[in-house]
A and B are shown apart, each in its own frame.
Chain A
Amino acid sequence: MINSENFIQDFRDLYLKSPQCGSWSRGSENCDYGDIITVSKDSYMCFNSGNCRDAYYCEDSRALTNCTDCAFCEQCELCYECVDCNNCYDSNYCQDSVNCEDIHFSYDLRRCKHCIGCVGLRDKEYYIFNKKHSQEDYEKALETLDFSNPKILEEIDKKLEVLKREIPRKFVHQFDTQNCTGDYIYHSKNCYRCFDTRHTEDSGYIYQANLDMGTKDSWDCGPIPTGMDLCYDIAYSHYLFNCKHLYWCGNLKDSQYCTNCFESKNLFGCHYIKSKEDGYYILNQKVDEDFYKKTTKEIIDILREKGIYALYDLLFKDLDRDVVSVSDDQLGRSCTLCGDNFEITEDEIGFYKKMDIILPIYCPNCRAEQRIDLRNERKMYKRECGGCKNPLITTYSPDNPHIVYCLDCYWQNIG
């Protein structure tokens, strides 16, 4: 029996009783340690990355071959400790560089080869600290560069920092964008304060939408949303239309407050469900359309009364705390979690009205932090699959009370 008054506790109980997948990978071989890995091979401790081969400790990257300790990189080979580098080869400790080979301790280089400690160079070879050297002198310098001596590394860092302060940099990282605010945005338009996102349009506060399937008309989505259309408060999900408050879901329509649900529509407060095309579901139970409409409205009113603004609140908020309410007229407000001031914009209000969402009392960063926290930290532990009892390497620690399945059991048992 579904009772609106008990919904919050019932939702939390059902979440604890539903299996979670220990770690996720697709089309990969020998990548047991890591989480959210696609089409990769022989890679160890990589996270949210795809098309990697022989990569170790890499994160949020694509198409890395034999790289270690790289983040937000694409199409690199034999690179070490690089961040935001594309198409680089045999390079170490570089950042924001593209199409380079054999560069070290450098920042913002394009189409350069054989450089050490350089900033903002284009089409250059054999430069050290932005000064041209002969090939001989460069090779001598590289030979004597003792990477294992922390004093030498410190000296290089100091000289590099001096150069970094002398050479101008662009105010944000954007490429192929129109009317976008935020950082690390590509092939997008009309983005409001988005970060690490591509193929996004008419959206706001989208974080780490790093695949090509695009996001549009959505707010507060990410990490790792892809194929979002008319969505709000979504984390780690794909291919959603008109959905709110979801975590680890895919191919859903017209659904709210769900985790681990796939290929369905009209789900409210469900966990671990698949392929329910027909019908209306609350807390995994099939109900008729009228009951669904009446009860979900009742529940939403109760959630608003209790100060539930996001999926994270529904799962974890301490309900005994006083409910703070802010008048809708107050567009400039103070985040009730961190105290930072934030503004609610006209576009945002238009979206909230269209989607029937209450104005938030947390700032956009706290909202994003909450969504990030819905998934475990990037740490791996050894456990046993709750289904088949085989050994399982997972982000769930042994004392975590959740039921954790290997991918096979997770898909075989989903209702």
Chain B
Amino acid sequence: MKDSVTKKCQGCKKEFLIIPQEQSFYEKKKLPTPSNCHECRRNRRKSLRNERKLYQRKCDKCDKDLESTYPKNSPYIIYCEECYYNEVN
């Protein structure tokens, strides 16, 4: 069984471990070992999801009133369910 590998996080500079099972996973998938510790990785994933806050806004296609986790000034195109299924799905 391999040993755990220690690396220094490029984000918070703390040391972190990469356990043998994890190393095997990266080898199997031909991925590099991560450069950030698991807490910095977790924070990055958390930032991918919207905050748990609801805003009043309108559908960018049909102008219907919506309550969404995307604010009015969101850079994304936000559709109500109907418009979304007509266009994307």
| Interchain nearest-CB distance for B9 vs A (Å) | 14
Query: A90 in the interface, Cβ–Cβ < 8 Å?
Result: yes
Residues of A141-167 at the interface with B, using a CB-CB cut-off of 8 Å, are 147-148, 150, 164-167
Q: A44-B21, A45-B38 are in contact. Are A168 and B52 (CB under 8 A)?
A: no
Across the interface, B22 reaches (CB within 8 A) one of A44, A81, A165, A169, namely: A44
The contact string, 1 if C-beta is below 8 Å from chain B, for chain A 37-60, is: 000001011000000001011010
**Bound-state Cα–Cα, A84 to B45, Å:** 10
Query: Hey, which chain A residues are within 8 Å of B61, CB to CB?
Result: 168
- The B interface, classified by DSSP as helix, strand, loop or mixed, is loop
Query: Hey, which chain A residues are within 8 Å of B80, CB to CB?
Result: 170-171
Query: B15 in the interface, Cβ–Cβ < 8 Å?
Result: no
**Bound-state Cα–Cα, A102 to B70, Å:** 29
> Is there contact, CB below 8 Å, between A54 and B60?
no
Across the interface, B59 reaches (CB within 8 A) one of A72, A171, A365, namely: A171
Query: Hey, which chain B residues are within 8 Å of A150, CB to CB?
Result: 35
Q: A54-B21, A56-B25, A168-B87 are in contact. Are A147 and B31 (CB under 8 A)?
A: yes
Residues of A85-105 at the interface with B, using a CB-CB cut-off of 8 Å, are 90, 92, 95
Residues of A173-194 at the interface with B, using a CB-CB cut-off of 8 Å, are 174, 181-183, 193
> Is there contact, CB below 8 Å, between B29 and A122?
no
> Is there contact, CB below 8 Å, between B77 and A69?
no
Query: A251 in the interface, Cβ–Cβ < 8 Å?
Result: no
Q: A147-B32, A167-B77, A365-B53 are in contact. Are A69 and B67 (CB under 8 A)?
A: no
Q: A80-B31, A147-B31, A168-B77 are in contact. Are A57 and B66 (CB under 8 A)?
A: no
Q: A171-B59, A171-B78 are in contact. Are A120 and B88 (CB under 8 A)?
A: yes
Contact size class for A?
35 or more
**Bound-state Cα–Cα, A195 to B69, Å:** 10
**Bound-state Cα–Cα, A57 to B45, Å:** 12
Query: B12 in the interface, Cβ–Cβ < 8 Å?
Result: no
> Is there contact, CB below 8 Å, between B68 and A68?
no
The contact string, 1 if C-beta is below 8 Å from chain A, for chain B 28-57, is: 111110110010011001101110111001
| Interchain nearest-CB distance for B39 vs A (Å) | 8
**Bound-state Cα–Cα, A193 to B54, Å:** 8
In the complex, the chain A residue whose C-beta lies closest to that of B83 is A168
Contact size class for B?
35 or more
Q: A147-B31, A183-B69 are in contact. Are A165 and B75 (CB under 8 A)?
A: yes
> Is there contact, CB below 8 Å, between A44 and B19?
yes
Query: A35 in the interface, Cβ–Cβ < 8 Å?
Result: no
**Bound-state Cα–Cα, A57 to B39, Å:** 9
Across the interface, A71 reaches (CB within 8 A) one of B45, B53, B59, B60, namely: B45
> Is there contact, CB below 8 Å, between A66 and B25?
yes
**Bound-state Cα–Cα, A90 to B22, Å:** 15
Query: Hey, which chain B residues are within 8 Å of A69, CB to CB?
Result: 34, 38, 41, 45
9 contacts between A and B (CB under 8 A): A54-B21, A59-B42, A71-B45, A78-B29, A92-B29, A171-B84, A174-B81, A193-B54, A207-B52
- 4 closest residue pairs by CB, A with B: A148-B32, A171-B68, A168-B77, A170-B84
Query: What would 20 more interface pairs be, CB under 8 Å, given A168-B76, A169-B79?
Result: A42-B21, A45-B38, A54-B21, A56-B22, A83-B45, A92-B31, A108-B88, A147-B30, A147-B31, A165-B76, A168-B77, A169-B77, A169-B78, A170-B78, A170-B79, A170-B80, A171-B66, A171-B80, A195-B52, A207-B52
